[in-house]
Structure formats: structure tokens, C-alpha cells
Amino acid sequence: MDFIVQGLVKAFELLFNGDSETYSAISTTLRVSSGSMAASLVLGLPAGFALGHFHFPGKRYVRLIVDTLLALPTVFIGLLVYALICRKGPAGHMGLLFSIPGIGIGQSILALPIIIALSATAVESADRNLRVTLLSLGAGRHQILLTSLWEVRHGILAAALTAYGRVMTEVGISMMVGGNIKWQTRTITTAIALETGKGMFATGIALGLILLLIAFFVNGMVFFLRQK
């Protein structure tokens, strides 16, 4: 029990003294997570709107596939992305392996079905008369899209925060695609795994506390939006 208490004390020292290695992992995590979320939102919001707004043949099967991808293991995504961007892969010439953009690709794939599924659910829950009203006012497709998304903005923001929390805490993609390189691709989760394996509990606890605070903030925002 003593080593846990000592680890907590050391963790606070590392955080408040500005330990460069600890804050490097935090910075890498925030950069790659934010970039991957931006990409997944650009792709996922229009797809989620289309899935929730329009009726087309095979919609149920598309929704089933998207819902299934919500449980896609991160190590499997890491394996696919690694095969794609490794030296022998089709995108090996781009030099994305063991880089932040490489991790971002994997995390975007992880977040994309979450954005699509939850935004589609939000659009489906919107007022059914909204589209008819917009059409009667002469709105075009672009205006219908933007207005509908604005009406369900709280649900979409909740979807984005849920995906962000999922991306922030994943470890499989970051470890396999990023390589856990110090000062470059080491994230909070991979640093925790490495430091704990080396017996460096203080650094692991410090990073764990940061991750816990971020997760608490994200979940608090999601709870607030659901209440709205």
C-alpha cells in the first residue's frame, strides 16, 4: 500500500513541477486526438445526417453495419492501419508509420462510426415536420442540412464528446501504429503501459490522473448535454 501512496505523492510532484516527459505525452495525446476528431467530424456528420434523414433501400443493413463498428477493437484497427502504411503496404511510401498522422488515421477510423451512429440517432429524433417546413420556405439541400444539424446540435455535440473520450483513452492504435516513441508519438495511454511495465508507478499514476480528469470532464459534458 505504501508504494501507491508514494506514487501519488510523486505524481503530484511531476505534474506541478512541469516534468517535460509527462507533459510531452499529454501534448501528443491532445494533438493527435483533436486532429483525428476534426477529420471524423468532417466525414461523419454528413454521413450521419444522410443515414438519419433519408430513407433508401438497405438502410437497415447500413445502420446494422455502423452499429457493429461501434464495438470494433482498437487493436484490430491498429493492425489494419499498420498493414496499410507499413513499408510493404499500399501507402508505405508516404512515411506515415510511427508518426502522429499515422495514429490520427487509426483514431479517425475508431471515431467515425461513433459520430455517424449517434448523429443519425439525433437527426432521427428531430421534429418530423422540420423538413416539410424548410421545403415550404424554399430551402435548398444545403440549407436543410445545416438547419437540421443546428436543431440537433446538442445531440451532435454529445456524439462528438463521446467519440473524443473513446479516442483519448485508446491504447491499441497508438501502440501499434505510433510505436510509443519518446518525445514523438508517446501518448498518455502508451506511456502508462510502458512506465507501469518498468515499475515506474509515479509517472504512470501522474498520467493516469490526467487521463481521469480529461475523461471526467468529457463525461460531465455529455451528461450535461443529455440533460439539455
How far, in Å, CA of 193 to CA of 141, rounded?
A: 48
**Is the model's pLDDT at 33 over the cut of 80?**
yes
Fold of 2-227: MetI-like fold (1.10.3720)
- Per-residue confidence (pLDDT) for residue 142, from 0 to 100: 76
Domain ranges of the chain: 2-227
| Grid cell at residue 201 | 508507478
Mean pLDDT along residues 14-34: 85
- Per-residue confidence (pLDDT) for residue 212, from 0 to 100: 83
Q: Is the pTM of this model over 0.95?
A: no
User: Cα angle vertex 110, ends 220, 187, to 5°?
Assistant: 70
What is the tens place of the pLDDT at every residue in 82-100?
999 998 888 888 888 899 9
Average pLDDT of every residue of the chain: 85
CB burial of residue 220 (10 Å; 0-12, 13-18, 19+): exposed
Confidence at 201, pLDDT banded by 50, 70, 90: confident
- Per-residue confidence (pLDDT) for residue 65, from 0 to 100: 93
Mean pLDDT along residues 16-37: 87
Cβ neighbours around 169 below 10 Å, total: 18
Give the C-alpha distances (Å, rounded to integers) separating 32 from 10, 59, 106, 169, 186.
Answer: 27, 32, 10, 12, 11
Mean pLDDT along residues 55-62: 89
